[in-house]
């Protein structure tokens, strides 16, 4: 499955947030891979809008697997201060999941109607 989510980074913390992600701890990277996070990317807009994209067999299971790791608890505690409006949640539980409305490869193989000449 593909999942996309959004968060909002505090505008005054953008540069530090980017710096932290240019040097993600090797243990955190390994935990994500082990938990089934594939093709994981983060995209950051200048106003702080953060969009995340991940492919995984099950987002719920991938998040739960990360919840069981000590490295994720440390990472989430450190990252929480960068975000707006988490309402006491960690970033990995405080994001807004977005609905997928189009995927090129899937739409190309379904709902194809031939036009008559």
| Catalytic residue set | 21
Q: What stretch of H or E contains 32?
A: helix 26-34
Q: Please give the sequence-ordered ranges of beta strands (E in DSSP) within the chain, or none if there are none.
A: 2-8, 38-44, 49-55, 96-98
Q: Radius of gyration (Cα) for the chain, nearest Å?
A: 17
Beta bridge partners, 54, equal: 3
Q: Which two tokens stand for residue 52?
A: 């995340």
């Amino acid at each position: 499955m593909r999942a996309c989510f959004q968060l909002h980074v505090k505008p005054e913390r953008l540069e530090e947030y980017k710096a932290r992600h240019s040097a993600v701890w090797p243990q955190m990277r390994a935990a994500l891979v082990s938990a089934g996070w594939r093709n994981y990317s983060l995209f950051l807009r200048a106003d702080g809008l953060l969009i995340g994209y991940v492919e995984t067999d099950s987002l719920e299971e991938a998040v739960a697997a990360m919840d069981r790791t000590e490295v994720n608890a440390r990472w989430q505690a450190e990252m929480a201060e960068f975000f707006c409006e988490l309402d006491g949640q960690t970033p990995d539980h405080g994001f807004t999941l977005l609905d997928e409305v189009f995927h090129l490869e899937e739409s190309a193989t379904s709902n194809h109607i031939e036009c008559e000449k």
